[in-house]
Amino acid sequence: MLICKVLKPLVSTNRIPGFEHKHLQVVLDGSSKKVAVDAVGCKPDDWVICVGSSAAREAAGSKSYPSDLTIVGIIDHWDPDAPKPVSGGSA
Amino acid sequence: MLICKVLKPLVSTNRIPGFEHKHLQVVLDGSSKKVAVDAVGCKPDDWVICVGSSAAREAAGSKSYPSDLTIVGIIDHWDPDAPKPVSGGSA
Amino acid sequence: MLICKVLKPLVSTNRIPGFEHKHLQVVLDGSSKKVAVDAVGCKPDDWVICVGSSAAREAAGSKSYPSDLTIVGIIDHWDPDAPKPVSGGSA
Amino acid sequence: MLICKVLKPLVSTNRIPGFEHKHLQVVLDGSSKKVAVDAVGCKPDDWVICVGSSAAREAAGSKSYPSDLTIVGIIDHWDPDAPKPVSGGSA
Amino acid sequence: MLICKVLKPLVSTNRIPGFEHKHLQVVLDGSSKKVAVDAVGCKPDDWVICVGSSAAREAAGSKSYPSDLTIVGIIDHWDPDAPKPVSGGSA
């Protein structure tokens, strides 16, 4: 799952009916903006857990929901500037 | 979901029958061009929401539709040059 | 879907039976080489549409076909050097 | 599957019920932090195997579990600084 | 599918039972190391085809096998240093 920051709600009047009335949020994943379906009720500046892949559908409420990124949890405490371990490099 | 800009329709006469008569659009995802199935009826320069993964199939109309990227909504207002938050870096 | 250029067929004598007798092609996706199952009958230098994710399986012929990248169409006309729009940056 | 290093547990009080009581771990994949469901019982500094895609769901316990990244094994010995082969470049 | 080079087997004693007794191999995908389930019987320095996404599960033997990367074929002849075409840039 990704660790993202919530930026703001996204409004799309002309969208497929499958989205129903769920809220869409613009989230920041690293340096790129993405759109996620909000399954927990979050607000701007929250740090959240986003699930992708086919799991995003069931997380959004049903196996046929057309989401590939769903907000599934709000992180209690997150320090994005915490240093990363220096020993033991990348794989 | 991705935030993409519609560039132009794509013509592919020799394609598998599974695509049926749905329109294909070339979209710009950041700096790379991709092809998406149009499920909403969009036009060049529209900013749109594209869903990927297995959700792209159902979003295109049926569970067996061979799409991995489907345009599912047109964004009402989008400013691609809006500044990103500077505090709170990437995860 | 990705826009790729066909490079050449790939020969793999020792492969799982699930691939059957379908042809494999080496394609160029941007600057990286990948292998795709050919569902349309293409030749080197063709510009093609490749579908990934779970849709690649059904596009290759059946729900249980072990492909994650399938060539689903040949693009009629493609100019890879066409300029990208300069106004309206990335999302 | 990815080779990741376990950093620390992640606490998210407000999360969807589908996660049940399974533990979430922050893992380091190269230089980016991700969240994975712990299916083996690991601790910080372990090098682990993480499975993504739809396989992450079944690996976490059931076909409907909302995970896209699950820790499925602890690597016995891993030297992240082992030199990579220099001959035979990338594909 | 990806074109990868086999580096060495990976030993993980503490892993989920779902992996059964299949062999895991560390493979090099471009410049990053990944773990793949070996479905063909390969050895270090082989150039192989790896399938990802949900197709990796069925390729590993069954629809419920927890793999997201499976080695499905050994390439007969592969020259990783073959020049890439210079005309016709990336999409």
Please tell me if residue B91 touches chain D, with a CB cutoff of 8 Å: yes
Task: Nearest chain E residue to D63 by CA: give it.
Answer: E64
All structural domains of chain A, each given as residue ranges with its CATH number in brackets, are 1-72 (2.40.50.220)
Enter the tokens of residue D78: 């891993």
* Cβ neighbours of D80 in E, within 8 Å: none
Model ipTM? 0.92
Question: Is B34 in contact with C1 (CB distance < 8 Å)?
Answer: yes
- CB E16 to CB D40 under 8 A? yes
**Alpha carbons C49 and D12: distance in angstroms, whole number:** 41
* Cβ neighbours of C33 in D, within 8 Å: 91
Chain E: nearest CA to C11, how far in angstroms? 6
* Cβ neighbours of A91 in E, within 8 Å: 32-33
Write phi, then psi, for E35 (nearest 5 degrees): -115, 130
Each residue of B17-75: pLDDT tens digit? 999 889 999 999 999 999 999 999 999 999 999 999 999 999 999 999 999 999 999 99
Chain B: nearest CA to A89, how far in angstroms? 17
Task: Nearest chain E residue to C32 by CA: give it.
Answer: E30
What is the full per-residue pLDDT of chain C (91 aa) written as tens digits? 999 999 999 999 999 999 988 999 999 999 999 999 999 999 999 999 999 999 999 999 999 999 999 999 999 999 988 766 654 444 5
Q: Which of E41, E55, E75 sits opposite C56 (nearest CB)?
A: E55
Count the alpha carbons within 13 Å of E50 in the hemisphere toward its beta carbon. 30
**Alpha carbons A41 and C44: distance in angstroms, whole number:** 51
C5: enclosing H helix or E strand: strand C2-9
Helix and strand numbers (H, E) in chain A are 1, 6
Output the pTM of the full model.
Answer: 0.92
Residues with Cβ within 8 Å of residue E35, at least 6 apart in sequence: D1, D2, D3, D49, E10, E24, E25, E26, E27, E69
Each residue of E16-75: pLDDT tens digit? 999 988 999 999 999 999 999 999 999 999 999 999 999 999 999 999 999 999 999 999
DSSP C62: S
**At E89, is the pLDDT very low, low, confident or very high (cuts 50, 70, 90)?**
very low
Please tell me if residue B33 touches chain E, with a CB cutoff of 8 Å: yes
Interface chains of chain E (3 or more CB pairs under 8 Å): A, B, C, D
